[in-house]
Structure 1
């Protein structure tokens, strides 16, 4: 058992992604959108964080990734820098996925997680995973909400108490923003990952098109609601709601 930060992502439009593409095309989408993105992200992350002496790259290598059908899981053991790495990886990953036509929604939490690698397969269990999954499942937009329990751990350590504010709130390209997230339970003010900061997503059309790429339908009222809510976040993050 190990205390870990957990990011749980769900692929939006997954049913259409599977139903409206050949199996060969589906495998190619996964290889391109997920695995190539992850392979490219790691050296980028190391390059960025190597330039910040306070951070370094040691903890980055401990992130574990699991992809099962429409679920993607990142696990990062709790450390002084672990949450920042997980947030940064989540931002790059979600932005890349939207740009490649596979929008995600997600939740990030902290708790007990155990990974059992036995002869019959791999099992991931723990309340950290459950909490992240619950946060993800409550979202009504392509957004990633961060459980404030994650920040309490950093704030309890004098060495990292100011790191969150410096790098996540006041940094010129913040990893997170305070936002009135639209959920199934109503609007809830939350810390959310800001996936708009990269040039991969240049306009509202890029966000909109992400939901219809790879032969996905956007005619369903629920899908239209999620698209609308996602566009509202893009406009908010880009300062276009004035």
Structure 2
């Protein structure tokens, strides 16, 4: 049995509004959410369609409304893999019939994990960064952590595309473009927009309003960003 710490990239995620879900939904409905969480989120390389990392290297721990993904920092492409997991996981919870919002943080640090036992400074730091700095529905990471990434150049570029800089200097995992494109096919984009608007129309709680106003601002940016990116792609193709 390994009795030592392991240096990992750790994503600590908090499902917002989970306490109300427990009050309002049945046990079966809650379990469906966790079935969604336990789905494998393994992103493949475009060139050979192989996973960025061995799926066995990615670990998940579910603690009620807290989710922890972690992977050894010594594995090539481990941070791009973790970022993509968080991006797709966030997207899929947004697209549920009753959308679920996530607040979280990603750090690099030491962790010990053995079945039900989990502790370490890395886990503590991930929790504190989420609790003190994420504040709104976003998954944040510092530039310092991004710069520790060991990755092949295509995967590093792929990862950085998911990490724009936010208003307060943190970088955040951006799933909004995927939501706009994929959600247009099944109505989940409009569903999330309506969920955000209905919440803002009905609540006076300042904390809740701040969270949903942030989400609304990001959603409003998406159509312009996607059109701009499509225009750039077309221009690049025409110049080739």
Q: Quick check: TM above 0.5?
A: yes
2:162 corresponds to 1:168: no
State the Cα distance separating 1:231 from its structure 2 match. 1.5
Confirm or deny: 8 A CA contact 1:6 1:73 kept in the other structure. yes
Partner of 1:192: 172
For the structure 1 residues 206 and 194, does the alpha-carbon distance in structure 2 shift closer, same or farther, using more than 3 Å as the test?
Answer: same
TM-score, normalised with respect to structure 1: 0.75
Partner of 1:61: 56
Partner of 1:82: 78
Partner of 1:126: 120
Q: For 1:208 and 1:223, locate their aligned partners in 2 and report how far apart those are by CA, in whole Å.
A: 16
For the structure 1 residues 130 and 56, does the alpha-carbon distance in structure 2 shift closer, same or farther, using more than 3 Å as the test?
Answer: same
Structure 1 residue runs of 5 or longer lacking an equivalent are 181-187
For the structure 1 residues 175 and 127, does the alpha-carbon distance in structure 2 shift closer, same or farther, using more than 3 Å as the test?
Answer: same
State the Cα distance separating 1:23 from its structure 2 match. 2.5
Partner of 2:211: 226
2:136 corresponds to 1:141: yes
Confirm or deny: 8 A CA contact 2:80 2:156 kept in the other structure. no
Confirm or deny: 8 A CA contact 2:12 2:127 kept in the other structure. yes
Structure 2 residue runs of 5 or longer lacking an equivalent are 226-240
For the structure 1 residues 88 and 30, does the alpha-carbon distance in structure 2 shift closer, same or farther, using more than 3 Å as the test?
Answer: same
Partner of 1:178: 165
1:28 to 28, 32, 40: 32
For the structure 1 residues 55 and 21, does the alpha-carbon distance in structure 2 shift closer, same or farther, using more than 3 Å as the test?
Answer: closer
Partner of 1:209: 195
Q: For 2:135 and 2:197, locate their aligned partners in 1 and report how far apart those are by CA, in whole Å.
A: 14
State the Cα distance separating 1:116 from its structure 2 match. 2.2
Secondary structure in 2 matching 1:233 = helix
Question: Which has the higher mean CA deviation after the structures are superposed, 136-145 or 20-29?
Answer: 20-29
Q: For 2:79 and 2:114, locate their aligned partners in 1 and report how far apart those are by CA, in whole Å.
A: 23
Confirm or deny: 8 A CA contact 2:10 2:123 kept in the other structure. yes
Q: For 1:74 and 1:150, locate their aligned partners in 2 and report how far apart those are by CA, in whole Å.
A: 16
Secondary structure in 2 matching 1:179 = coil
Number of equivalent positions: 210
Q: CA RMSD in A?
A: 2.9
Question: Which protein is richer in helix relative to its size?
Answer: 2
TM-score, normalised with respect to structure 2: 0.75
Question: Which protein is richer in strand relative to its size?
Answer: 1
Cα displacement string for residues 132-187 of structure 1 (whole angstroms, at most 9, x for unaligned residues): 11221132321110132322323xx6xx4856762234xxxx2211121xxxxxxx
